[in-house]
Structure 1
């Protein structure tokens, strides 16, 4: 066999073998969504929602960290609203029980029936997620025992939670540089959560990473809720399959799925 023929054969074979490209979480999830956002501050909750809603929009209830208020996370919560979610953030610095977050569901159910409300007949009460940071992450887990909540994202959650009681899929997120709620503590809580569940730690992230616009957590949080609450297939690929976006993203470490 001549060298020229060998090269031709190898070239032909290479065309038949798919090349596995390295994957990362799509940066579009971190970009502002297509919707303009409205904010409404009520006595017990601050609402963030798309300025125009066609049909019904899925819900996210949010819990703040200890001593924090929704404005501390306004960039992240507005970001979720820009991607089509109605966000009800509890106006409390103590949201660890989850009761304050569950009250947000009750509020939205009421507004859905009030003709004077922007949210009149626009709240999708069949697709609800819970998320929170620190004590609010603990509250999100505790709220997630409510059958009305379909999925939960605890971000660097406090320890006084009952992950074994979660009713739906969950995404536990830690910061690899978090000295307040160490990554090992979050991983231990994840281990107690019923499947299906995912754990991931963001490299170099301290305990303050989720404040403001959500930092490095923003895109993954958005993709998870789009996957779980809207069935978005592109978002699903960030978490499923052997080469999922999260699994192969260099910004994340210690990815665990069950």
Structure 2
């Protein structure tokens, strides 16, 4: 019932706002650009439907920020990903991280989105008129990556980034662009498995990116590169940041991820992704 109401709340907004940014020429940036903190100081707050929220400290009515729904890996909590989630908030994204250690259903993630969309309409809320209900993304790690794929089948979610995703969800049900992140040395969720899921998501623009020398827990600098690429992916699709798009799209000779062979051991883009930009 709550999931259905979330979709209804967003339908009107979806008719007037698109997930895809308008085409515009943008100077390319290297992959380190989004690995440094963004312009916003951040706030961390527990609340809502058993969630932890990360958001820009200068959140104010009239300036609408996109939402990112986050799903933890098995046994983990948002504190396990604190550096990453603060980083995403510093780039102007309101992050709703479910406190559950079992996020594979995607339902807890969607509940955080519904809470923020409802709070956006409540005058006494700190989130009043500061949320863009038509700009909602989802991401998560391991089991939370599977939850991300499940959440990505909901009409409210316009873009996803499953990180080393577990087996949950059907990628053929994804409704918007998706970035699949693997670790070259990951033996828990091997790159071949992540790549297969990427290949099966051919109904959307999809990118596969493999972190060089990284295991399931982002060793060997993987965490730095992960937070940068996630910030860029969601800045492009949710905040119309054209510079961020140069990391993923355009000619392979200028695509930032494609050129950064020191950090990324493999980068693939499907037909729809190659047509973006």
TM-score between the two structures when normalised by the length of structure 2? 0.81
The correspondence for 2:39, drawn from 30, 34, 37, is: 34
- Equivalenced residue count is 235
Cα shift readout 1:1-34 (whole Å, capped 9, x = no counterpart): xxxxxxxxxxxxxxxxxxxxxx873312010111
Does the C-alpha gap of structure 1 residues 213 and 118 become closer, same or farther in structure 2, counting only changes over 3 Å?
farther
Find the residue that maps to 2:54 and give its secondary structure.
Answer: strand
- 1:51 corresponding residue in structure 2: 57
Give distance in 2, aligned partners of 1:214 and 1:161.
25
Q: Pick closer, same or farther for the CA change 1:152–1:191 going to 2, 3 Å.
A: same
Larger Rg: 1
Q: Which residue of 2 aligns with 1:130?
A: 138
Give the whole-Å Cα distance in 1 for the aligned partners of 2:137 and 2:181: 15
Query: Unpaired runs of 5+ in structure 2?
Result: 1-27, 271-277
Partner of residue 111 from structure 1, selected from 119, 130, 143: 119
What's the C-alpha RMSD, in Å, of the aligned pairs?
A: 1.7
SS at match of 1:246: helix
TM-score (norm 1): 0.87
Unaligned 5+ segments in structure 1 are: 1-22
Provide the C-alpha distance between the structure 2 equivalents of 1:213 and 1:107, rounded to a whole number of angstroms.
32
How many angstroms apart in 2 are the aligned matches of 1:116 and 1:30?
35
Q: Supply the distance in 2 between the matched residues of 1:153 and 1:228 (Cα, whole angstroms).
A: 11
Q: Residue 41 of structure 1 aligns to a residue in which SS?
A: strand
Match of 2:69 in 1: 61
Q: Please give the residue correspondences for 1:1-258 in structure 2 after superposition, counting only pairs within 5 Å.
A: 25-42=30-47, 43-54=49-60, 55-193=63-201, 194-209=203-218, 214-242=223-251, 243-250=254-261, 251-258=263-270
Displacement of 1:159: 1.3
C-alpha distance in 1, partners of 2:224/2:30? 14
2:34 is paired with a residue of what secondary structure? helix
1:180 Cα deviation (Å)? 0.4
Q: Could you tell me how far apart the structure 1 residues matched to 2:115 and 2:223 are?
A: 25
Verify the 8 A CA contact 1:24 1:248 in the aligned structure 2.
no
Q: Cα 1:159–1:220, aligned 2, differ >3 Å: closer, same or farther?
A: same
User: Is the 1:75–1:213 contact (alpha carbons within 8 Å) kept by the matching residues of 2?
Assistant: no
Per-residue deviation, 1:171: 0.3
CA deviation map 1:210-254 (0-9, x unaligned) = 9x9943211111000011111111111111112200111111122
Instruction: Return the alpha-carbon distance in structure 1 between the equivalents of residues 245 and 29 of structure 2.
Output: 13
CA distance in 2, matches of 1:114, 1:70: 26
Worse overlay, 188-197 or 75-84: 188-197
Q: Aligned partners of 2:120 and 2:204: how far apart in 1?
A: 32
